[in-house]
Structure 1
Amino acid sequence: MHGPASSGWLLVALCAATGVSCLLRMRGGGEEQRSAAGGEALMGFGMAAMAVPAAVFTPPSWAWPGYAAVFGAAAVRALWAARSGAHHLHHLVGAGAMVYMAVAMAAAPAHPHGPGGSGVPLLTGALLLYFAGYVLLTGVRLVPVAAVAGGGGRAGWGDRPELARACRLSMGISMVAMLLAL
């Protein structure tokens, strides 16, 4: 992504840590929780890879179409899974945003010393509004989380709903930052 290296590295660290947390969440819960956590881990690691500052590492020309293909497949999977729950629609929007950013970065000339002017301003603005709203809504939902009532036993740390919401919140914030840097 275009932008200052220091904020890029912070974004890489946040997204990678979120990806690891999501991988750990895949160990518990039911199939639906594991599937959602897997999609979120892919998103976290993909965002970390895309956020590496351009001044430090310029990806090869095949990387951007590769990102678009991976996240295009994730979008198709999210579209298929959306039949069973509305949260998958968010995964669809997120994967679509990643495809959009990969295509915009592939089409943009490299700007290692400052922000670039890539992407379609109207689409970028719409995605920014969506993710800013998502961040605000997720943040509000994170505050009053009640304790998990496990059937007599204590729930594992990966089964805690506030952990999943915190991961989604950090990825939403990261998506806003990436769209602003686009």
Structure 2
Amino acid sequence: MHGPVSAAWLLVALCGATGSYCVLRLRSGVEEQRRAAGGEALMGFGMAVMAVPAAVFTPPTWAWPVYAAVFGAAALHALWTARGGPRHLHHLVGSSAMVYMAVTMAGAPATAHHAHGSSGVPLVTGALLLYFTGYVLLAGARLVPATGTAAAAGPARWGDRPELARACRLSMGIGMVTMLLTM
């Protein structure tokens, strides 16, 4: 990520905290929470590492192809699990976006990450920005509690709280929009 350093550190903290919570969700008693938590933890930690300011750490040239391979494998896994239902397609788009960003970073010299010229935002970046902006707006609206709903079963464990899982997905969506804007 090549934006303001303070914004980059905030993104590192947000994505790192999100990835850490997703690791907690791996111990959930709810099977659906456990299934999604691993991929979301990988995404959170991957985004945190990618957002570290270039002034602090410039990854070696071999890191970007490794990034692309790891998230390419995650995208294939998401594609495989999407056979069971469309709810996994978001993981496919997120992993594919990480591959796209890694390939873009690998192909650009360290000083020319903003050199898109007069052509403006590349088509893929624009499409991903539209998708993730829409996702953030929808996920934010889903966080608003419905009137008259209460937890009848008592307090849930930290890993079993669906509202926290939704908040984590929302924060990763916001992080993805931020990272795409700074490309």
- Global fold match (TM > 0.5): yes
How far did 1:5 drift?
1.2
Which of 95, 113, 117 does residue 115 from structure 2 map onto? 117
Percent identical across equivalent pairs?
A: 75
1:50 matched residue in structure 2: 50
- Provide the TM-score with structure 1 as the length reference: 0.92
How far did 1:147 drift?
3.6
Aligned pairs (5 A) from 1:66-105: 66-105=66-105
How far did 1:149 drift?
4.2
Gaps spanning 5+ residues in structure 1: where?
A: none
Give me the whole-angstrom Cα distance separating, in 1, the residues matched to 2:6 and 2:84.
40
**C-alpha offsets along residues 54-84 of structure 1, whole Å, 9 cap, x if unaligned?**
1111000010000000000000000011112
Q: What is the letter of the counterpart of residue 54 of structure 1?
A: A
Give me the whole-angstrom Cα distance separating, in 2, the residues matched to 1:99 and 1:165.
23
4+ long deviations beyond 4 Å: none
Q: What is the letter of the counterpart of residue 156 of structure 1?
A: R
- Provide the TM-score with structure 2 as the length reference: 0.91
Aligned pairs (5 A) from 1:9-28: 9-28=9-28
Give me the whole-angstrom Cα distance separating, in 2, the residues matched to 1:63 and 1:142.
36
1:61 aligns with 2:61: yes
**Shift in CA distance, 88/148, structure 1 to aligned 2, threshold 3 Å:** farther
How far did 1:39 drift?
0.5
1:175 matched residue in structure 2: 176
Q: What is the letter of the counterpart of residue 166 of structure 1?
A: A
1:139 aligns with 2:137: no
Task: Give SS of 1:82's match.
Answer: helix
**C-alpha offsets along residues 26-57 of structure 1, whole Å, 9 cap, x if unaligned?**
11133332120111000000000000111111
Contact 1:29 1:159 in 2 (8 A): yes
Give me the whole-angstrom Cα distance separating, in 1, the residues matched to 2:40 and 2:26.
10
**C-alpha offsets along residues 123-142 of structure 1, whole Å, 9 cap, x if unaligned?**
10000000000000000001
Give me the whole-angstrom Cα distance separating, in 1, the residues matched to 2:99 and 2:23.
22
How far did 1:155 drift?
2.4
Q: What is the letter of the counterpart of residue 115 of structure 2?
A: G
Contact 1:15 1:48 in 2 (8 A): yes
Give me the whole-angstrom Cα distance separating, in 2, the residues matched to 1:127 and 1:135.
12
How far did 1:6 drift?
1.1
Give me the whole-angstrom Cα distance separating, in 1, the residues matched to 2:24 and 2:172.
16
RMSD (Å), alpha carbons: 1.8
Task: Give SS of 1:83's match.
Answer: helix
Contact 2:25 2:160 in 1 (8 A): yes
Q: What is the letter of the counterpart of residue 166 of structure 2?
A: R
Give me the whole-angstrom Cα distance separating, in 2, the residues matched to 1:169 and 1:117.
29
